[in-house]
Structure 1
Amino acid sequence: MPVSIEKRGKDSYRFVVSAGFDSSGKRIRKTKTVKASNMREAKKLAAQFEVEVYSGEYISPEKMLFKAFVEEWKNKYAEEHLSPNTLATYVLHLKNRIIPFFGEVKLEKIKPLHILDFLKSLEEEGLRKDGKKGTLSTSTIEYNHRILKNILNRAVEWQLIKKNPMENIKKPKRIQKETSIYDSTEAELLMNCLQKEEIMWNIMIKIAITTGLRRGELLGLEWKHVNLEKGILQVKQAVTYVNKKHIIREPKTKNSIRTVTLPEALIDELRKYKSTWNKKRLKASDLWEGGEYQFLFTSWNGKPLHPSSVTTWWRRFVYRHKLRYIRFHDLRHTSATLLINSGVHAKIISSRLGHADIRTTMNIYGHALQEADKEATKHFNKLFSNNKTRDLEA
């Protein structure tokens, strides 16, 4: 008996497939309700459902374990809608924490109390995988909450459960750690130390601290994205490394695709670096493996740098020159804070950093903005001092 398709409502279709007879001679029917934009899409999904039933791969919703649904979620949603890097991070958290807790539980049996128990368990000691002592960070707990909610939202959309058990559970509070940055004196010292380094690293760090680009965005920069005549660079792609291969993709948000003005002093250095880069390209000759890409920062044969190699170089550089250690990503925060302290408007800083919303900038750099605001009010003291002088003269 072929699969039957019944329209149940707007964008909703119900499939029925006969799966033979049970021991008492009663016909066994497998049903499934799905969302589809039109009948054509519904027929395609119905055909997949029929194959699953006859091959024995179909699991009734009331019998589906959480870990089985995670595989469905990965195949039918995550691989298409999440970036490879994000998916890899999700899978890591699922493997380490979420599946060990919920894996053997039937999907429809997961209740709000189970979610609360899980989130509470993440506050216990000994769950870190980095070898460090202490509990998980609040951001990691919040991230696990986000992953679990994403998965259960798909279960609701696909009508495997009627309601997401996380619907009324508040997101765990994320405590924003105070950012470690270089002040203007330390930034000048950093620039002096860079003069002793290989030109590729010299230029990379200078771009990082003057533009606020993320590590992946720096690695994704190509020469076609740098206009030395206009003194600008365009952020159009980023490089990540997932499953032992480099992936070139668009930046994390639409606002991350942006144009950033370069300091004049850096433009001449970039011209010299381009000349050095061209010589390296010619020297590699047939061994060059950059293909169609002309990344600014590459290994000797033109391949993109591994993201971790940047972090490793930065750590060694800092210790070698006895600088105060901050993370490589904190160069981005340093860039923003130096601009704030110079009186640059938060909207401009938000645009340079590629934030989707100025509120993101305000949340991250609120303390620095507040300090800059205090400094700004000192300019008004002159008004009062002038008035006080006139009062004395009168």
Structure 2
Amino acid sequence: MAGSIEKRGKDSWRLVYSMGFGANGKRVKKTKTVKGVTKREAEKLLAQFITEIEAGEYIAPEKMLFSAFIEEWKSKYAEAHLSPNTLVTYLLHLKNRIIPYFREMKLDQIKSLHILSFLKSLEGEGLRKDGKEGTLSTSTIEYNHRILKNIFNRAVEWQLIKKNPMENIKKPKRIQKETSVYDNSEAELLMSCLQKEAMMWNVMIKIAITTGLRRGELLGLEWKHVDLEKGTLQVKQALTYVNQKHIIREPKTKNSVRIVTLPVALIDELRKYKSTWNKKRLKASDLWEGGQYQFLFTSWHGKPLHPSSVTTWWRRFISRYQLRYIRFHDLRHTSATLLINSGVHAKIISSRLGHADIRTTMNVYGHALQEADKEATKHFDKLFTNNEKRDLEA
């Protein structure tokens, strides 16, 4: 048994592995064409090709089922390049919808029409996994499109298929739901109710509504990220839980790494909270489990809070004071909307929220911006009023 490479064109090579002779006396070979590589790189790929065949791991592209490729994609790409949280979400969608639909199809036989049919099928009733009635959200359908695009991009890169079936398929349109937020009077009532709560929750919610930080960013805050002299905090990391373990990761996007200015009144409360936090740390002594981290918001022994505990506390708090229910994440939207209504420029708001593009801010808060625009036009009424007065006086 031997392997060889054959030149097929510019930077194109055929990897050949001879497996001896079959019962009919003909030579048995396995081949694989690789492109865009040098001869030396092709020789390395040949060695890898032979190893996979001899280990029984090589499957010819024309015989590889979609479900088998998912395992290759997972081990050779997803586990190394996707964040733990994203990987869990991808695998959940694959398990629930994508693999059941494409499972028995061969990878190279999946065409654009099959993808379009799958995406169309997601618009049907009874597909929700949360027990609620209705159809899947447009964002869920768009997310499935994103996953498939990632998978087939890898299949093309690894030269398992020649044409990407996702190439000419437009991303499904995501319908942005109108967010539920507190207005000024409701935000003031919220602040009043917080004064009766434990200091940790009091400070956390006030940071959330005045800075627009995401839940994971709040839980990832450490004291070293808070500059009480300058009145700022740095968003440099976020906390998430995967498989019952907390993971510290970089924020959602490059622009999510940012410095946010704090209200003066909140700085004073943070000073008091830091003093309380230090006493809690000393009291826990050897039982402290914070390790190298000094998170602002922790359990009594220093372990970071689980995201679900924040959501649970928020629901109970809302019920306790009979406030209008909005999601915890809607505090972020409330923060942006209050700034919009105060006339703050969208670019500043975009920067505070850590949006990668101001267009994201415009899309998410388009309704609020439109309302603010209507209010802005009232300033021009003075021009007409003053002009009419002059005409009457004349």
| CA spacing shift, 1:256–1:58, aligned 2, 3 Å | same
Q: What aligned pairs does 1:1-394 form with structure 2 within 5 A after superposition? A: 1-5=1-5, 14-34=14-34, 44-394=44-394
How far did residue 113 of structure 1 move? 2.0
Distance 1:378 1:257 in 2: 37
- The percentage of counterpart residues that share the same residue type is 84
Q: CA deviation at 1:195?
A: 0.8
Return the letter of the residue paired with 1:141: I
Q: In the alignment, residue 276 of structure 1 is paired with which amino acid? A: T
| CA RMSD across the alignment | 1.8
* Secondary structure in 1 matching 2:356: coil
Q: 1:155: Cα distance to partner?
A: 1.0
| Cα 1:69–1:318 shift into 2, 3 Å | same
Measured after TM superposition, the shift of residue 46 of structure 1 is 3.8
Deviation at 1:119, TM superposition (A): 1.3
Equivalent residue letter for 1:235: V
Task: Kindly indicate whether the alpha-carbon contact (under 8 Å) linking 1:19 and 1:53 is maintained by their aligned counterparts in 2.
Answer: no
The offset of 1:31, in angstroms, is 2.4
Deviations 1:4-46 (A, max 9, x none): 3456667765433233432223332222344677667655544
Instruction: Note the C-alpha offset of 1:67.
Output: 0.5
Whether the aligned pair in 2 keeps the contact of 1:12 and 1:34 (CA below 8 Å) is yes
Q: CA deviation at 1:356?
A: 0.5
Find the aligned partners of 1:14 and 1:136 in 2 and give their Cα distance.
45
Distance 1:329 1:108 in 2: 42
Task: Give 1:351's aligned amino acid.
Answer: S
Which AA in structure 2 matches 1:192? S
Deviation, structure 1 residue 269: 0.4
Residues 392 and 100 of structure 1: is their aligned pair in 2 closer, same or farther, counting only changes over 3 Å?
same
Distance 1:92 1:185 in 2: 41
Q: Which moved more, 1:126-135 or 1:92-101?
A: 126-135
- The more displaced of 76-85 and 5-14 is 5-14
- Give the letter for the 2:182 counterpart: Y
Structure 1 pair 11–239 and aligned structure 2 pair: CA distance change class (3 A): farther
Q: d(CA) in 2 for partners of 1:124 and 1:137?
A: 11
Q: 1:308 to 1:39 in 2, by over 3 A?
A: farther
Give me the whole-angstrom Cα distance separating, in 1, the residues matched to 2:244 and 2:4. Answer: 44
Cα contact 2:2–2:19 (8 A) shared by 1:
no
Using the TM superposition, name which of 365-374 and 87-96 deviates more.
Answer: 365-374
Partner of 1:240, secondary structure, is strand
Secondary structure in structure 2 of the residue aligned to 1:208: helix
Structure 1, 23-32 or 194-203: larger mean CA deviation: 23-32
* TM-score (normalizing by structure 1): 0.95
Report the number of matched residues. Answer: 394
* Unmatched tracts of structure 1, length 5 or more: none
What is the CA–CA distance in structure 1 between the aligned matches of 2:200 and 2:340, rounded to whole Å? 28
SS at match of 2:31: strand
Pair 1:28–1:133, CA change in 2 (3 A): same
Task: Describe the shift of the 1:339–1:55 C-alpha distance in structure 2 as closer, same or farther (beyond 3 A).
Answer: same
Q: In structure 2, do the counterparts of structure 1 residues 253 and 24 end up closer, same or farther at CA, with 3 Å as the change threshold?
A: same
Asked if the contact 1:35/1:158 (under 8 Å) is kept, the reply is no
TM-score normalised to structure 2 length: 0.95
Question: Is the contact made by 1:297 and 1:304 (CA closer than 8 Å) also made in structure 2?
Answer: yes
Query: 2 CA distance for matches of 1:9 and 1:339?
Result: 61
